[in-house]
């Protein structure tokens, strides 16, 4: 017997279909049918992004309250949260680990009839729930992570699931384009950067010609952004830093800063990959637990004995250096922030690397501004260039990095300097590694899927060969 809720949904569906059938223009009907899944995905993912942002902020506030009350407790809390975050992912959704952007890139590559059923492991409702839960646990424990990468995987999962729910009679919509649009909408709603979301989709996620899905991409980004704005109101991710009265000679400070952030970001990615490989060699989980607990103790010790700002996403660092009179940070803060990011990400729990990269770059910029004895406005420019350079070196997406920093600070008047820093950092990063951090992890996920498929096909072939042999023996 069907429940009342299902019966009600069927009646609503039938009513909508009846009204829709009254439309005489076939082109209009077809375009509406093609657009509705994108609109629905954008609305739902925008709402989830807002909820996730608020929960993430509450978790960070909880960390600050406990730290102010009894900082020593983090020698227990941080290791416990590192282990718990890893265990939640391992137990319930292994592909919910890390940032989520490599999983989305792998899903786009696998979005074809032969491998699409494997995409369910990378993008699903289970991934959404575990992604949120694991990252909240990790950041509450002081993990140096962000929520932006996870929001991208969450949004892509929502769009993918809506595509899966479409009835058989519905016009066919490209699964790949749905996933791409979902990822772009996720970034746009996480940072309130619609242009950044679009550029990210083109530069980082796909080589597909933009004309094939530009309308869907634009509407998805706009609706997701508007949904976030309807809850949060108009805002910039960071604000409006003062940027004026500096000479073009500031480029002499931007160049060395960009080189340092180029090496710093790419080096951080290599270190994370090394630790992930190192931990994957252990067959006994107790050894992994021991190392994760050790990582937690190290991060807690850095926060307690060195600087409390080593904990968390680092947004507070960006805000304080850009919008207060105190532009200086300790010279060692960016180094320890990078170490904290490496150890946090290597846990295998959920958590993004966008915000930690931006905050590391901001602290590098503040240190260089102090060394060059720059004015407040010139220091702001160097901080923005540091953010752009560090994010570029980890993502290898110079256009996306530049547009994100420009949009989240409304600093279009310094676009030349921002683009120079992204260019130099990108070139410098290739010295450390030809491929980006995300590319390496994406290739790893794709290889895992290919191996799974090869094993399944081998089993099928063995069953097929066994059946004729049994028939012959009879």
Of the candidates 412, 417, 347, the residue with the CA atom closest to the CA atom of residue 388: 417
Of the candidates 426, 419, 368, 347, the residue with the CA atom closest to the CA atom of residue 394: 426
Per the model's pLDDT, the better-predicted residue between 13 and 441 turns out to be 441
Query: 132-146, 224-238, 289-303: which range is least confident on average?
Result: 224-238
Q: What is the pLDDT of residue 40?
A: 87
Query: 33-42, 104-113, 462-471: which range is least confident on average?
Result: 462-471
Q: Give tens-digit pLDDT for 51-98.
A: 999 999 999 999 999 999 999 999 999 999 999 999 999 999 999 999
Query: 28-42, 103-117, 139-153, 344-358: which range is least confident on average?
Result: 28-42
Q: What is the pLDDT of residue 233?
A: 58
Q: Token digits for 316?
A: 């507070």
Q: What is the pLDDT of residue 168?
A: 81
Average pLDDT for 132-157: 94
Of the candidates 345, 354, 357, the residue with the CA atom closest to the CA atom of residue 98: 345
- From the options 1.10.3080.10, 3.90.580.10, 3.30.390.30, 1.10.357.10, give the CATH code of 248-438: 1.10.3080.10
Burial class (CB in 10 A: 0-12, 13-18, 19+), 462: exposed
Average pLDDT for 2-19: 68
Q: Which fold has domain 40-232?
A: Clc chloride channel (1.10.3080)
Mean pLDDT score across all residues of the chain = 85
Q: Give tens-digit pLDDT for 383-397.
A: 999 999 999 999 988
Distance CA 130, CA 444 (A): 21
Query: 196-200, 333-337, 455-459: which range is least confident on average?
Result: 455-459
Res 471 pLDDT > 70: no
Q: What is the pLDDT of residue 362?
A: 94
465 falls in which pLDDT band (50, 70, 90)? low
Query: 76-80, 218-222, 403-407, 446-450: which range is least confident on average?
Result: 218-222
User: Token match 């012959």: residue?
Assistant: 472
Q: What is the pLDDT of residue 219?
A: 62
Where are the chain's structural domains? 40-232, 248-438
169 touches 379 (CB < 8 A): no
Per the model's pLDDT, the better-predicted residue between 283 and 125 turns out to be 125
Across 238-247, b (16+ Cβ under 10 Å) vs e yields beebebeebe
Q: Read off the pTM.
A: 0.87
Q: Give tens-digit pLDDT for 174-207.
A: 888 899 889 988 888 888 777 777 778 777 666 5
CB count in 10 Å sphere of residue 304: 19
Per the model's pLDDT, the better-predicted residue between 60 and 471 turns out to be 60
Average pLDDT for 430-434: 87
User: Token match 């020698």: residue?
Assistant: 75
- 254 to each of 139, 365, 422, 472, how far by Cα in Å? 32, 9, 10, 77
Q: What is the pLDDT of residue 414?
A: 86
Q: What is the pLDDT of residue 391?
A: 94
Q: Give tens-digit pLDDT for 277-295.
A: 999 898 889 999 999 999 9
Res 1 pLDDT > 50: no
Q: Give tens-digit pLDDT for 160-171.
A: 999 888 888 788
209 falls in which pLDDT band (50, 70, 90)? very low
231 falls in which pLDDT band (50, 70, 90)? low
Average pLDDT for 343-361: 93
DSSP designation for 204: I
Per the model's pLDDT, the better-predicted residue between 467 and 315 turns out to be 315
DSSP designation for 410: T
State phi, psi for 166 to the nearest 5 degrees.
-65, 135
Average pLDDT for 324-348: 91
pLDDT above 90 as % of the chain: 45
Res 306 pLDDT > 60: yes
Per the model's pLDDT, the better-predicted residue between 285 and 11 turns out to be 285
Average pLDDT for 408-422: 86
Cβ neighbors of 221 (< 8 A, separation 6 or more) are: 42, 181, 184, 185, 188, 194, 197, 198
Cα 245 to chain centroid distance, Å, stands at 35
Average pLDDT for 332-351: 94
Average pLDDT for 299-304: 96
Res 308 pLDDT > 80: yes
Res 413 pLDDT > 70: yes
Q: Token digits for 29?
A: 């009907």
Cβ neighbors of 250 (< 8 A, separation 6 or more) are: 374, 378, 381, 382, 417
Cβ neighbors of 342 (< 8 A, separation 6 or more) are: 268, 271, 272, 275
Per the model's pLDDT, the better-predicted residue between 120 and 303 turns out to be 303
Average pLDDT for 148-152: 92
């Amino acid at each position: 017997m069907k429940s009342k809720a299902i019966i009600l949904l069927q009646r609503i569906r039938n009513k909508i279909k009846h009204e829709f059938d009254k439309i005489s223009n076939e082109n209009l009907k077809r375009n509406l049918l093609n657009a509705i899944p994108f609109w629905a995905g954008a609305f739902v993912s925008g709402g989830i992004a807002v909820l996730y942002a608020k929960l993430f902020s509450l978790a960070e506030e909880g960390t600050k309250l406990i730290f102010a009350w009894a900082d020593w407790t983090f020698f227990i809390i941080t290791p416990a949260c590192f282990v718990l975050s890893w265990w939640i992912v391992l137990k319930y959704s292994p592909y919910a680990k890390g940032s989520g952007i490599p999983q989305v890139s792998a899903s786009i590559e696998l979005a074809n009839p032969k491998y699409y059923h494997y995409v369910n492991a990378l993008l699903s409702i289970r991934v959404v729930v575990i992604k949120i839960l694991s990252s909240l646990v990790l950041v509450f424990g002081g993990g140096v992570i962000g929520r932006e990468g996870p929001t991208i995987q969450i949004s892509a999962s929502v769009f993918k699931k809506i595509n899966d729910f479409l009835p058989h009679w519905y016009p066919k919509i490209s699964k790949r384009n749905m996933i791409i649009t979902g990822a772009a909408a996720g970034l746009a709603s996480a940072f309130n950067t619609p242009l950044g979301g679009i550029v990210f989709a083109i530069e980082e996620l796909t080589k597909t010609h933009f004309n094939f899905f530009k309308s869907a991409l634009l509407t998805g980004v706009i609706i997701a952004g508007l949904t976030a704005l309807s809850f949060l109101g108009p805002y910039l991710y960071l604000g409006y830093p003062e940027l004026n009265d500096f000479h073009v000679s500031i480029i002499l400070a931007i160049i060395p800063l960009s080189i340092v952030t180029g090496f710093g970001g790419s080096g951080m990615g290599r270190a994370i990959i090394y630790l992930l490989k190192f931990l994957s060699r252990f067959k006994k989980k107790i050894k992994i637990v021991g190392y994760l607990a050790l990582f937690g103790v190290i991060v807690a010790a850095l926060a307690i004995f060195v600087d409390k700002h080593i904990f968390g996403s680092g947004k507070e660092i960006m805000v304080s250096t850009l919008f207060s009179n105190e532009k200086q940070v300790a010279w060692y803060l960016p180094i320890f922030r990078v170490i904290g990011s490496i150890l946090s990400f290597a846990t295998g729990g959920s958590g993004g690397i966008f915000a930690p990269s931006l905050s590391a770059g901001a602290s590098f910029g503040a240190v260089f501004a102090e060394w060059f004895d720059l004015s407040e406005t010139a220091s702001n420019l160097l901080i923005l260039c540091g953010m752009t350079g560090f994010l570029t070196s980890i993502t290898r997406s110079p256009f996306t990095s530049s547009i994100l920093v420009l949009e989240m600070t409304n600093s279009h008047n310094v676009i030349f300097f921002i683009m120079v820093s992204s260019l130099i950092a990108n070139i410098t990063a290739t010295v450390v590694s030809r491929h980006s951090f995300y590319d390496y992890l994406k290739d790893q996920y794709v290889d895992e899927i290919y191996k799974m498929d090869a094993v399944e096909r081998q089993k099928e072939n063995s069953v097929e060969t066994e059946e004729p042999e049994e028939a012959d023996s009879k």
